[in-house]
Amino acid sequence: MNAFSVTNQSPSKALDDWENAVIDLFLNAANSFGLPKSYGQIYGLLFCRDQPLAMDEIMELLKISKGSASQGLRALRQLGAVSSVFAPGDRRERYIAECRLRKLVGGFLREQADPHLEKGTARLNQIEKLVNNLQDEGSRKRGVRRHEILSGWHRQMSRLLPWVKMIVGKSDRLPQKNSE
């Protein structure tokens, strides 16, 4: 048949088709969440693998630069989406993906949503102050009304986040062998 290929015996040299498909899925997901696509690629690759990978392996498999790999891994660790391990007798750090959705969502909310809510509080206070300074009765009333609406939204969003963490955490990894 074919001298090469067949079963892909070299584990760290090239990606399987399904791995490329998964990586591409995470690339798109990262984009939708406002993260650089390289973050998605790195996470996707690690997600596919059982064994932890070192940075230079990631660079080679994904064909991305040292800088991207370094920055991507740092951000993913910060989000709790990736953690590092040390193989005994090897100096390099190696990385694995966090596969529990609850942890991923939790990290994302902690790093992205929570800061926005905090900034929101500050902005609302500023708006309230500006509104209260208005001289014209009608304008002030309109401004007060708008500030009230925004405060209500802010409160609702703050309420929502804990629920999201709960609901996603419910049944994490699939209950092992389970047919649809």
Restricted to residues 117-176, the positions that interact with a second copy (CB under 8 A) are 119-120, 123, 126-127, 130-131, 133-136, 139, 142-143, 146, 148-153, 156, 159-160, 163-164, 167-168, 170-174, 176
Question: Which residues have a Cβ under 8 Å from the Cβ of 58 and sit 6 or more positions away?
Answer: 42, 45, 46, 64, 69, 73, 95
34 binds DNA (CB under 7 A): yes
Query: Residue 12 binds which one of a second copy, DNA, none, with CB within 5 to 8 A depending on kind?
Result: none
56 binds DNA (CB under 7 A): yes
87 binds a second copy (CB under 8 A): no
Whether 85 and 52 have beta carbons less than 8 Å apart is answered as: yes
Beta strands in 23-161 (DSSP E): 53-54, 82-86, 93-97
Tokens matching residue 20: 């490329």
Binder among 10, 63, 90, 116 for a second copy (CB under 8 A): 116
SS3 label, residue 133: coil
Binder among 22, 29, 64, 144 for DNA (CB under 7 A): 64
Minimum CB distance to a second copy, residue 94 (Å): 18
Nearer to DNA, 68 or 143 (CB): 68
User: Positive or negative, the Cα torsion across 161, 162, 163, 167?
Assistant: positive
Phi first, then psi, for residue 95 (nearest 5°) are -125, 145
Site pattern 14..53 for a second copy (x: CB under 8 A): --xxx--xx-xx--xx--x-x------------xx-x---
